Amino acid sequence: MNTRRFAQRAAMHASLLAALAVLPGTAALAQSRAVQAVNYELGMSAREIDTDDSTSNGTLGVRAGANVPLGRYLGASLVADYSRSTIRTRSVLENPDGSLAGTRPTCRFDRTGADALLFARLPGYGRVGVGYGIGSISPDCGDSSVFIGKDTGDLSTEALRVEAEYYLGNFTLAAARTTTDLDQGEKLTSNSFAVSWYPLDSLRISLLGNDLYEQDTYGIELEHQPEFLGDALTVRVGYSVRDEDQRVSTISFGLGWHFGTRVPLKTRDREYR
C-alpha cells in the first residue's frame, strides 16, 4: 500500500511540474542571471540615406561587442565601432552654369566610438539600463574641412542613454531617452521606442520610432537568425522614413556573428544581451 501511495504522489508531483512548465514566468525560473554567460559579437552594416532635392549618403560600419554577467540581476554590454560615411554633394554644389563650386564631388566622415551599458534584468520580465558613450568624427572634404561653429577638423561627442524593456509573451516593448553633448556646446536629445514581435524564435520584426531634431522618424526592421547556420549568424534589414519638409528615407542592412553561445534569437535577446 505504501508503495502505491508513493507512486501516486510521485505522479502528482510530476504533473504539477509539467503544469508549471507552461505557466508565464517559467523562463524566469530557468534563467538564473541577467546574462547567462559571457558572449561576444562582431557585426558589419551598410546604410543608404536619401534626402529629397538634397544630398544622399552611404555609410559602412563595423562593430565589436561583449556581454558580461555581473551577478544574478546585473549585466554589462561593451561596444566599439567604426564607420565611414560618404556624402555625395556634386549636384548640390553645382553652380547655375553647371560648374562645380568646389573641388570635391563628395565628402567623407570617419567616426569611431565606444559605448558601455550597465543594466538590471528581472529574468523573464524585462530590464532597465543606463549607458554612456563617446565618439569622434573627422571630416575629409578638402583643404577646408572644418565643422561650422568649431573651426577644427574633428568633432567629439558624449552621450548618456536611459532605456527600458518589458517582455510580454512573444512581444518586447522598449523605450529610451538619449542626450548627446557636442564639444562645440550644442546638446541633442531624442526619445525612441520599439515594439518587437517574435513570430518564430529565430525571427524578430520591430516597429521603430524616434524624434531626433524634433522630427518624427518611423521604421521597420527584420532580424533573422537561421537555424541551419547553427544560430551563430544574424541577418538584419530595415527601412525608415522622416516625412517633414524634406522626405528622408533610409535603407539599412547588417550581418552579425556571435561567439560563445548557440541559442535562438529570442533567447539571445532576453538572456544573453
195-204 pLDDT per residue, tens: 999 999 999 9
pTM for the whole thing?
Answer: 0.78
Mean pLDDT lowest for which of 12-16, 132-136, 195-199? 12-16
Segments making up each domain of the chain, as ranges: 31-271
CB within 8 Å of 92: residues ≥ 6 apart:
54, 55
Cα 114 from Cα 60, distance rounded (Å): 17
As a whole number, mean pLDDT of residues 155-183 equals 94
Query: Residue 240 is which amino acid?
Result: S
Partnered with residue 74 across adjacent β-strands are: 120
CA terminus-to-terminus distance, the chain: 52
Cα gap 29→21, rounded to integer Å: 9
Note the pLDDT tens digit of each residue in 36-93.
999 999 999 999 988 776 667 889 999 999 999 998 899 999 999 999 988 765 555 5
CATH H superfamily, domain 31-271: Autotransporter beta-domain (2.40.128.130)
